[in-house]
Structure 1
Amino acid sequence: MEQFQNPLNTSSPLSQTAPRIGFVSLGCPKATVDSERILTQLRAEGYQLQPTYAEADLVIINTCGFIDAAVDESLDAIGQALDANGRVIVTGCLGARAELVRERYPDVLAVTGPHALAEVMAAVHAQLPAPCDPFVSLIPPQAVRLTPNHYAYLKISEGCNHRCRFCIIPSLRGDLVSRPLGEILDEASRLVESGVRELLVVAQDTSAYGLDLGHRPDFWGGRPLRTHITELARTLGELPAWIRLHYVYPYPHVDELIPLMAEGVMLPYLDMPLQHGSEAILRAMRRPAATEKVLDRVARWRAECPELVLRSTFIVGFPGETEDDFARLLDFLRAAQLDRVGCFPYSAVAGAAANDLPNPVPEAVKQERLERFMAVQAEISRDKLTARIGQRLTVLVDAVEDDAIIARSYGDAPEIDGEVIIEGEWEINAGDFIEVIITDADEHDLWAQPVED
């Protein structure tokens, strides 16, 4: 499938003669931010984006390489572009494994790793000289975004210092590198001024923000601020937008964020990948293994912030996982009563330390455990959402369809969580905040009607 983005104005005289670039963006929100930066620079230099392979002078593919399915998708996209166009530049996480890309597709023009704006642009310039001064200053509102106008991803750091055995992100994206706090806040302010109503804060390890900088102070708005996730979250909360945190590793200082949620400074939503509920498997993963302490913390957080919605992800079928380990995971799931949960069968990613562990779990057992896990969580989720019937909530409208409005509450992140469905025709636009009454629910979504004052 062609996944080109075409945010450029192609009606200007320059665009009719400018070099034409096709662009495919794959992978996670962090990769989406990388794509936005490349597209913004292409626009600044006068390149024209094309929606089809045939109309492009070359194609850039921002790849994902985290798990085998993502690698296959990226390789397929490269192959399709080469077949249809013949001139392809590869970037992104799979690009960090250049030998794999070159072995499969020796005719690609260039291969770069992730967050490699300068290298990508150098590869483009080598094939298609820029029609404009490449150092032109870009007016902030002209920045290209691949999300809808009303929400945006705000990446606060690159890389990760952890060495989880199932993960190869440090080898793809390197160790933690935090962005300057003032730079992040400037970007956030520009986004909100341009009409963004929700900022989704992302990083590989959001709660580690500032650790590599020793939490040294930075200045914004004439005041000193500590380079720390709590200070960043508190200051972002001064903006007139929803602030949502993703990928929060369970450091002790995460406790400091809960009061901010209780006070309405940021959304009472915490995305914390916990990975498992068996301490033996967590130790094998090189993850925090004190599951009882996690349950105690969750109970304290909910006491302090009753509206808190907790999202997490888990892995089943990790090497060495016994039936007893899996039973402990299900017990943890029932005890934690998490609101939103994703689960994946373990995939042996090339280069991951877990590949060398003994006692791999058969694929059929992984799938059977995945189904049992999701059945337990479906019941929990259904009960959680059913309890919201009759509640009054503020929702953010994502889309207006012919017979329904698709919205989200504070408990729903875009693309990964559920929706609030408002049936019928209403004078409402995407990006609007509206008050609704919840009327129905299933294990994923809510149904609602607008509150008519």
Structure 2
Amino acid sequence: MSKTSTESVNTTATAPLSAVKDTATIFNPAAPTIVQAQSQADVSQTDAKQPYHHKANHNQNRSVAQSSDVTTANATATMPVSAAPKIGFVSLGCPKALVDSERIITELSRDGYQVASDYDGADLVVVNTCGFIESAVQESLDAIGEAISKNGKVIVTGCLGKEADKIREMHPAVLAVTGAHAYDEVITAVAQHVPKPNRSQDANYDPKIDLINEAGIKLTPSHYAYLKISEGCNHRCTFCIIPSLRGDLVSRPIDNVMNEALALKKAGVKELLIISQDTSAYGLDLKYKTSFWNGMPLKSKFYDLCQALNDLGIWVRLHYVYPYPHVDKVVELMAEKKLLPYLDIPFQHASHRILKAMKRPAHSENTLARIKAWRDICPDIVIRSTFVVGFPGETEEDFQCLLDWLVEARLDRVGAFTYSEVEGAVANDLPDHVPEDVKQSRYERLMALQQDISAQKLQEKVGKTLTVLVDEIDSDENIAICRSYADAPEIDGHVYVDDINAQVKVGQFLTVTIDDASEYDLFASYQG
């Protein structure tokens, strides 16, 4: 790849996520439409010149069935033109919210509704909101207003739905407001304002719509999918209101999780991204109840789930892993090549004083020791984390502690966001809030430091051979845009493979040789 083309591609790689669009896929033999989506985990990494921010700032995950930016793609089979009512859908927030949107769209499709490709073609619009921090609240309110102005019939759901009075005060025209994971309430509200189609009287009804399988409709590309294993959280971090929005931990029984995982594999998924608010707490609320799957007893327990997912023979990537002691055993599975050696652990800070104020585990020296132990067990492990800068009371000394910790930890992937108040968070009432300009300066300093660390670590991969998964094909540049085991979709880097042949397809695994590296991306050649 020439230097010019390298720079061109890398600019694309570090563009804001709002510019990224992935074709959504419906996993059923006769899908009515396919919408596009944008999905991301909490915080991405990037260079200091074009910084990413937290998902709620301006890179909202927006899966839009009706935006003018969104196109409609062909499904596995084309449905006949139907008089069935059409529902538009806007999904904001993290992958966990995206999964909620997928479930609602699946249920609406099973009821005979179709998904609209624009506002004008929708009989009603559902907006799935985010309320994690104040900027997310504002973006959700703006999205509701846009849907009302362009369509007029709007139902609101998601995390911000808990603030129904605020929503109705700003947008009194909304038809209904429901909270997070209120699937049945959304379906009921839709049916109340746009009655379900009468299939017996619809001459254009195609019975194949009843064949939507357990995997349901997915808003991600066909080769990867998010698998949510639990809802809610038992922690009470002072900067977070997730428990008040989504409740305490509620885990899915392990047979239920595995049935969905298997259905996704059968639908062609090559990579499962395991998500929840607290992935490693999975099963605690169920008291690790035993269920039967595939004729074998399985405990609803994080380690047992990881073992079972490994047996599917596809990539399994773990996100939102709280560093409980039993995570060490899961790292052993990674060393045995039974899971992708990738851990997404939100450490949040390194200063003992700030961690204590956050109500997070407050022993950064122990965390460093555990990271070293994980690397001893599994030398190839990639660790990504997110950090809050400018938390109330954070001094320059506290921030320097975080920088020193990062130098020693040498994490592979790091995202950060500046502290932002959110209504209802305990941290709002803490003293000594940090000025905005100081927060931004610290954010930029942290990301500049991590950029250097990332560049050094990626340079060490030059000359090595890696297995990568193809996400996109740039036919103009003759480049495959791929990811290795070290790269989660949207939030991490890419592997750009030069001079590919016509046989290379999206969703295919390639074995490539790394030729060069930048701060966040790798550049490779393929001899297939």
CA 1:400–1:141: 2 relative to 1, 3 Å: farther
- Aligned counterparts, 1:191-210, within 5 A: 191-210=264-283
- Aligned counterparts, 1:27-426, within 5 A: 27-131=93-197, 139-140=212-213, 143-402=216-475, 403=477, 404-426=479-501
**Contact 2:110/2:212, CA 8 A, preserved across alignment:** no
CA 1:36–1:294: 2 relative to 1, 3 Å: same
**Contact 1:45/1:132, CA 8 A, preserved across alignment:** no
> Match of 1:213, SS?
coil
**Contact 1:90/1:110, CA 8 A, preserved across alignment:** yes
In 1, distance between residues paired with 2:325 and 2:456?
30
CA drift of 1:426 comes to 2.2
CA drift of 1:143 comes to 1.9
CA drift of 1:139 comes to 3.7
1:444 aligns with 2:486: no
**Contact 1:7/1:49, CA 8 A, preserved across alignment:** no
CA drift of 1:67 comes to 1.2
Give the stretch that moved more between structures: 90-99 or 292-301.
90-99
> Match of 1:250, SS?
coil
CA 1:17–1:8: 2 relative to 1, 3 Å: farther
Deviations 1:34-90 (A, max 9, x none): 011111111111112111111111101111110122112111111111001110001
> Match of 2:285, SS?
helix
In 2, distance between residues paired with 1:57 and 1:435?
47
Give the stretch that moved more between structures: 161-170 or 216-225.
216-225
Specify which of 43, 46, 65 is matched with residue 4 of structure 1: 65
RMSD: 1.7
Deviations 1:98-139 (A, max 9, x none): 111111101100011111110000000101111157xx9654
In 2, distance between residues paired with 1:142 and 1:327?
46
* Counterpart code for 1:223: M
In 2, distance between residues paired with 1:196 and 1:185?
14
CA 1:142–1:154: 2 relative to 1, 3 Å: closer
In 1, distance between residues paired with 2:124 and 2:256?
32
CA 1:354–1:437: 2 relative to 1, 3 Å: same
CA drift of 1:248 comes to 0.3
**Contact 2:226/2:275, CA 8 A, preserved across alignment:** yes
* Counterpart code for 2:379: P
In 2, distance between residues paired with 1:271 and 1:429?
28
In 1, distance between residues paired with 2:99 and 2:308?
21
TM-score (norm 1): 0.96
* Counterpart code for 2:394: E
**Contact 2:500/2:526, CA 8 A, preserved across alignment:** no
Identity %: 57
Q: Which runs of 5+ in 2 are unaligned?
A: 1-61, 67-71, 200-208
**Contact 1:311/1:338, CA 8 A, preserved across alignment:** yes
**Contact 2:388/2:416, CA 8 A, preserved across alignment:** yes
**Contact 2:215/2:260, CA 8 A, preserved across alignment:** no
CA 1:7–1:61: 2 relative to 1, 3 Å: farther
Deviations 1:184-230 (A, max 9, x none): 00000010011000000000000000011111211111111111100
> Match of 1:252, SS?
coil
Equivalenced residues, count: 450
> Match of 1:287, SS?
coil
* Counterpart code for 1:420: V
Q: Which runs of 5+ in 1 are unaligned?
A: none
* Counterpart code for 1:332: W
**Contact 1:382/1:442, CA 8 A, preserved across alignment:** yes
Specify which of 427, 431, 434 is matched with residue 507 of structure 2: 431
In 2, distance between residues paired with 1:11 and 1:194?
18
* Counterpart code for 1:54: D
- Runs of 4+ in structure 1 off by over 6 angstroms are 7-10
CA drift of 1:425 comes to 4.1
Partner of 1:16: 82
In 1, distance between residues paired with 2:145 and 2:63?
12
CA drift of 1:294 comes to 0.4
**Contact 2:215/2:263, CA 8 A, preserved across alignment:** no
**Contact 1:317/1:345, CA 8 A, preserved across alignment:** yes
**Contact 1:8/1:49, CA 8 A, preserved across alignment:** no
* Counterpart code for 2:523: W
CA drift of 1:423 comes to 2.5
CA 1:20–1:382: 2 relative to 1, 3 Å: same
CA 1:206–1:352: 2 relative to 1, 3 Å: same
